[in-house]
């Protein structure tokens, strides 16, 4: 009995030495003064990922915001912010105060306004083109006429394992998307062959792309007039395989010849939008030397 009382007393003493945990009660949160984090993400044109890696993530590259639940700490594009009120759970959603929402919005707007506008894509109307007959049969579109293609944009999947079908499923999960945003996908031997060229439905149907996100002041010409090619892999970590590069060179050179696209109009995704894509380990210089 004496030992049990000793243990209880010891635990009570330990608890008394711990700092109190502060949490605001939900009754202190008038709805009109708080903003849903999910709705804030929509307003800022960011994809909402909810709780991940210890925080609430909202991101559409190159922009990134993280809020820490029950904390006044926030990160906006790598810069730490101190909020006036903590980010809290209200019902089934996280909320921040209206004032903190304005602070976050202002900081992100400042980052965005400091970026250079998307480079223009000069488009010279060429009229309807006849069906592509110079391309290998497996790369030809299924329509009777081809779209007026003016450029080629190179991407990486930013994931080590994928194929056209798995990327298609990911893109379908994005609101407003109708599936695979690229025209071609080149495999790396994980879910499709190493160097295998998969042809997307957008190419078969000569549809506009959904791979070169338009920025302010850009009338979406990059999606309307550029061919999107994605190589499976994360080239911030490791370079593409030799088979992938060989396939990319063959594909790009065929498209350049068919649509009279100059080498200067074959660009990385980072040329169109502020992003790391297709990654620092992509051998851009050697690739360009092979297609000129």
- Other Cβ atoms less than 10 A from the Cβ of 161: the count is 15
Which pLDDT belongs to residue 3?
39
CA 279 to CA 273: how far, in whole Å?
13
Beta strand pairing call for 34-36 and 93-97: antiparallel
DSSP state of 158: S
Number of Cβ atoms within 10 Å of the Cβ of 277 = 23
In angstroms, the CA 245 to CA 99 distance is 50
Residue 213 has what pLDDT?
73
pLDDT in tens, 221-245: 899 999 999 999 999 999 999 999 9
C-alpha closest to that of 259 among 134, 155, 154: 134
Dist. CA 76–CA 56, nearest whole Å = 12
What parts of the chain have a pLDDT lower than 70? 1-32, 52-53, 61, 115-120, 122-133, 214-219
Per-residue pLDDT at 127: 55
pLDDT at residue 18 in the model: 37
For each of the domains in the chain, give its residue range(s) and CATH number, in order of start: 28-109 (3.30.457.10), 134-291 (3.40.80.10)
What's the rounded Cα separation, in Å, for the pair 256 and 135?
10
Look at residue 91 in the predicted model and tell me its pLDDT: 86
pTM above the 0.85 mark? no
First-last CA distance in the chain: 88
pLDDT value at residue 117: 62
**Cβ neighbours around 31 below 10 Å, total:** 10
Return the pLDDT at 62.
72
């Amino acid at each position: 009995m004496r030992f049990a009382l000793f243990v209880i007393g010891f635990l009570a003493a330990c608890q008394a030495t711990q700092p109190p945990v502060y949490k605001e009660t939900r009754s202190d949160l008038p709805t009109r003064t708080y903003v849903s984090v999910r709705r804030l993400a929509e307003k800022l044109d960011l994809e909402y990922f909810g709780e991940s890696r210890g925080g609430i993530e909202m991101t559409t590259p190159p922009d990134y915001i993280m809020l820490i639940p029950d904390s006044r700490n926030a990160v906006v594009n790598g810069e730490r912010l101190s909020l006036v009120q903590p980010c809290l759970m209200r019902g089934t959603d996280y909320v921040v105060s209206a004032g903190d929402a304005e602070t976050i919005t202002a900081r992100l707007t400042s980052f965005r306004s400091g970026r250079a506008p998307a480079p223009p894509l000069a488009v010279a109307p060429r009229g309807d083109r006849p069906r592509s007959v110079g391309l290998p049969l497996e790369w030809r579109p299924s329509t009777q006429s081809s779209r007026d293609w003016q450029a080629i944009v190179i991407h990486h999947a930013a994931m080590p394992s994928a194929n056209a079908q798995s990327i298609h499923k990911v893109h379908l999960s994005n609101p407003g998307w109708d599936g695979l945003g690229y025209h071609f996908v080149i495999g790396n031997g994980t879910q499709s062959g190493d160097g295998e060229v998969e042809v997307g439905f957008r190419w078969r149907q000569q549809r506009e792309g959904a791979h070169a996100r338009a920025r302010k002041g850009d009338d979406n010409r990059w999606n309307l007039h550029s061919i999107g090619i994605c190589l499976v892999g994360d080239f911030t970590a490791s370079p593409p395989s030799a088979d992938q590069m060989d396939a990319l060179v063959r594909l790009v050179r065929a498209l350049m010849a068919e649509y009279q696209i100059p080498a200067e109009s074959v660009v990385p995704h980072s040329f169109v939008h502020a992003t790391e894509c297709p990654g620092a380990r992509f051998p851009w210089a050697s690739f360009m030397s092979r297609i000129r």
